[in-house]
Amino acid sequence: MSALALAVLFAIASAAAYAAGAVMQERLAADAERHTVLALLRLGRWWFAVGLNAAGGALHVAALAYGPLSLVQPLGLLTLVLALPMGAALASKRVATEHWRGAGLTLAGLMVLLVLVGPGNTASVLTTGRATTLAVVATIVVLAVMVAAKYAKATIARSILYAVAAGAAFAVSSALTQTVTLRATTDGAGALLSPIALVLAAMSVGGLLLSQVAYRDSGLGAPLATVSLANPIASAVIGMALLGERFAGGGRGAVVALGAAAVAAAGVVMLTRPAEGAALPAEAPTKVEPLPLPLPLPVPQREREPEPVALVA
């Protein structure tokens, strides 16, 4: 089996593990009122979900060890697609038609991108100079987007900007993960303690924190779609600018790849949008205070008629 085929298999397995872990965590979150934090730690389902996420991360690293960054990162969008039937089966619900359409568009776009990945694209290692350049440029870009988000007036604009910064940080983290993984296979475990590994850890934590801020301000839908799209786009830029990755067909292939990416992006937006007719969370009933009753008015007393004076004869 070729290295590219192994990368695709590992990436699909990683997406499946992440999807299963996300679905289980969502179900546990729905039961959060019945479980405290300490109670969750005693639940086997919670630890199983944690294990699924860990397995997803390990499989993602394995995919990066065999395939190009511009292929592995877009395949991560399969997490949103695979979570649909898993979540529906666990909750005994039907998947909305709009979500099926979004899944179809996402799969169509990914299939075209998969075909366009050139056979010469393989997992590549960043040189120390290029890794340093990537870290510096990424830090400047992320800080600039954060400053723009801080001064954004609209809440949704602020959330989207934070999500863009998170997606960029995750892309840089994946690129550095690929470099550290490949170096560890040749240089040994010492590569895990290199400056590149420290930057990798900082970018991973930063992306996680930025995504949480984005979700906090305006919910899950728009920020999740933005993070999911910003990550592969930034990865494609890194792969082409620093790793020498190219699409088959030259310029025409790049144009087709942009079209496929737009189709996949439309599918992701549909996947993260609430289904039509979905029940909205019930609002707490408004307590109606009784109107104050008017004080009783004093009843006017009839004036007593003077008693007749008896005349004394």
DSSP secondary structure of the chain: --HHHHHHHHHHHHHHHHHHHHHHHHHHHHTGGG--HHHHHT-HHHHHHHHHHHHHHHHHHHHHHHS-HHHHHHHTTHHHHHHHHHHHHHHT-PPPHHHHHHHHHHHHHHHHHHHHB-TT-------HHHHHHHHHHHHHHHHHHHHHHHT-SSHHHHHHHHHHHHHHHHHHHHHHHHHHHHHHHHH-GGGGGSHHHHHHHHHHHHHHHHHHHHHHHH-SHHHHHHHHHHHHHHHHHHHHHHS---BTTHHHHHHHHHHHHHHHHHHHHHHTSPPTTPPPPPPPPPPPPPPPPPPPPPPPPPPPPPPPPPPP-
Distance CA 28, CA 30 (A): 5
Encode the chain (313 residues) as per-residue pLDDT tens digits: 788 889 999 999 999 999 998 888 777 765 655 555 566 667 777 788 889 989 999 999 999 999 899 889 999 999 989 988 888 887 788 888 999 999 999 999 999 988 887 666 677 888 889 999 999 999 999 999 999 998 998 888 999 999 999 999 999 999 999 999 988 888 787 778 889 999 999 999 999 899 888 888 777 778 888 998 999 999 989 988 888 888 777 788 888 988 998 999 999 988 888 766 554 444 444 444 444 444 444 445 555 555 555 544 4
Q: Distance (Å, rounded) from C-alpha 113 to C-alpha 139? A: 28
Amino acid 311: pLDDT = 46
Q: Of 72, 64, 82, 73, whose CA–CA distance to 22 is shortest?
A: 82
Nearest to 215 by CA among 204, 206, 205, 226: 226
Q: Cα(36)–Cα(265) distance, rounded to whole angstroms?
A: 37
Report the distance separating Cα 138 and Cα 120, nearest Å. 27
Pull the structure tokens for residue 281.
Answer: 């969370």
Query: Rounded to an integer, what distance in angstroms lies between the CA atom of residue 63 and that of residue 228?
Result: 18
What residues form DSSP beta bridges with 1?
none
Distance CA 242, CA 191 (A): 20
Tokens of 294: 């008017």
So what's the pLDDT on residue 57? Answer: 92
